[in-house]
């Protein structure tokens, strides 16, 4: 009896030992099943994909290829081929960091109820790819490709597939021009400007943009023009309100008769790096009801965020909403918006002499040398005229006007230049009111300027002629 009992005990111990061994072997096998991979587990050539659809966050997007990509729900939707290509590139060479070869419970990986299901069809095969939970420990997502395994993806496909329909529109683009050669605006503003290098129509070498008035070529401020062109070039055309505008919609957005049409003729480089040219047309309008209300408003809009405005590129069927700031910037395209605000804007290194009439007395400030090495003199006394230069350059337009002078002259300056085309510029400043003076350049009224700036100019002159400045 004792012997039999002993045999039972030995048998039990043996069974437990075998069970332990089996368990250990199973654990070893399971660890091998969750092994490091790094392999490419799926390869789909994007060029072979004929259709693509995915379901994410309760929304399904479906596309098929018939030459270009087409949105299944609306063939009028302009699909961006580049955006579709970006999606497909995800699976050109899909790599796994880890592989679970025999998953026992898909719910452990969130694959019983995937966050996203992707379906791709080629001519030969249909692929169904499911995206599960995101492992915060591994910083990777569980993915099923339909082969019975579970992968931890090297790159998360949801980074590209967590997208909305608006992310796939083929937006109109502004050209990446090298140089705008001519800019024409029409509508509420009528203006035309052109690019001309090495000109003889301005006393400043930095002036390269010009307009024409009554047969006269007039220089524009290069910085102001280029700022305007940059606003046009980098206009954010992304916030579309319709991608297939009807005549009725164009009327509702004020684009059946645009408030302003901007036409830019430009040069650029084509895809092969060769010189090319083109024309870009943009129509902009404020909301028609807002526009009418603005006409009777007592003062301009202070809060630009309250402005609702729209834009359309050429004959495109896409209409975009643009910001109030973008609208205001693009509407500022008149001569006065783009001309120099400084009464005198030449490089001071090109000034050779100043003749000044102040307080009934004439003064002459001369120079020796040229450029940055130029030395200045009043009589025989060498001067530092930095303050005078700053004061003259600081006289800027508050408001442009062609109103004739009616009050007494405050100061007159004749600036002599090292220029055959423009040997001198004459400026006169007349009292206008307590806050302003009238600037007259070469006999023509130009602008109202701050009286305080003119006072600063007069004081700078007095400091020199009264010997109150430092001698260099």
The domain spans of the chain are 2-34, 37-168, 179-191+228-338, 348-465
Among 292, 266, 297, smallest CA distance to 280 is for: 266
Looking at residue 370, its pLDDT comes to 84
Alpha helices in 298-420 (DSSP H): 324-331, 335-338, 386-393
Q: What is the pTM of this model?
A: 0.83
Q: How many CA atoms lie within 13 A of 187 on its CB side?
A: 21
Return the C-alpha torsion angle 14, 20, 25, 30, nearest 10: 160
Q: What is the reported pLDDT for 36?
A: 61
Locate all alpha helices (DSSP H) within 90-244, ordered by sequence.
158-161, 222-233
> Taking CA 188 as the corner, what is the angle to CA 183 and CA 193, rounded to the nearest 5 degrees?
20
Which tens digits make up the pLDDT trace of 60-110? Answer: 999 999 999 999 999 999 999 999 999 999 999 999 999 998 888 999 999
pLDDT in tens, 210-253: 999 888 999 999 999 999 999 999 998 999 999 999 999 999 99
pLDDT tens digits for 4-42? 444 444 445 444 444 444 444 444 444 435 556 578 999
**CATH number of the domain located at residue range(s) 179-191+228-338 in this protein:** 2.60.40
pLDDT value for 7: 41
Q: Phi first, then psi: give them for residue 282, nearest 5 degrees.
A: -130, 130
């Amino acid at each position: 009896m004792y012997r039999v009992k002993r045999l039972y005990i030995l048998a039990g111990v043996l069974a437990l030992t075998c069970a332990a061994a089996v368990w250990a072997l199973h654990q070893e096998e399971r660890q091998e099943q969750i092994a490091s991979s790094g392999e490419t587990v799926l390869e789909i050539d994007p060029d072979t994909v004929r259709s693509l659809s995915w379901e994410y966050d309760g929304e399904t997007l479906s596309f098929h290829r018939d030459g270009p990509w087409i949105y299944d729900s609306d063939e009028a939707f302009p699909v961006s081929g580049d955006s579709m290509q970006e999606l497909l590139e995800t699976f050109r060479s899909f790599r796994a960091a880890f592989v679970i070869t025999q998953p026992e419970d898909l719910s452990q990986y969130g694959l019983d109820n995937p966050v996203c299901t992707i379906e791709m069809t080629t001519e030969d095969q249909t692929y169904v790819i499911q995206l599960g939970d995101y492992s915060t420990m591994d910083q990777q997502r569980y993915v099923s490709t339909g082969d019975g395994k579970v992968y931890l993806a090297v790159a998360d496909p949801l980074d590209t597939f967590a997208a909305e329909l608006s992310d796939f529109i083929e937006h109109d683009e502004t050209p990446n021009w090298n140089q705008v050669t001519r800019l024409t605006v029409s509508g509420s503003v009528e203006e035309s400007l052109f690019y001309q290098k090495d000109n003889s129509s301005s006393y400043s070498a930095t002036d390269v943009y010009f307009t024409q008035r009554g047969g006269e070529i007039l220089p524009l401020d290069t910085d102001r023009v280029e700022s305007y062109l940059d606003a046009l070039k980098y206009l954010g055309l992304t916030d579309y309100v319709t991608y297939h505008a009807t005549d009725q919609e164009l009327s509702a957005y004020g684009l059946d008769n645009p408030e302003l049409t901007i036409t830019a003729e430009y040069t650029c480089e084509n895809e092969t790096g060769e010189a090319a040219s083109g024309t870009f047309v943009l129509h902009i309008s404020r909301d028609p009801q807002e526009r009418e209300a603005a006409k009777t408003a007592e003062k301009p809009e202070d809060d630009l965020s309250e402005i609702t405005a729209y834009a359309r590129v050429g004959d495109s069927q896409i209409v975009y909403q643009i910001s109030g700031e973008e609208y205001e910037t693009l509407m500022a395209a008149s001569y006065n918006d783009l001309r120099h605000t400084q009464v005198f804007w030449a490089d001071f290194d090109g000034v050779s002499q100043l003749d000044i009439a102040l307080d009934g007395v004439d003064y002459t400030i001369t120079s020796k040398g040229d450029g940055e090495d130029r030395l200045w003199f009043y009589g025989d006394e060498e001067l530092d005229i930095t303050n005078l230069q700053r004061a003259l350059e600081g006289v800027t337009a508050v408001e442009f006007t062609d109103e004739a002078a009616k009050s007494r002259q405050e100061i007159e300056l004749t600036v002599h230049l090292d220029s055959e085309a423009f040997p001198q510029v004459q400026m006169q400043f007349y009292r206008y009111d307590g806050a302003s003076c009238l600037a007259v350049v070469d006999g023509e009224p130009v602008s109202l300027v701050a009286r305080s700036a003119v006072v600063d100019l007069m004081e700078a002159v007095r400091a020199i002629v009264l010997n109150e400045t430092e001698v260099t």
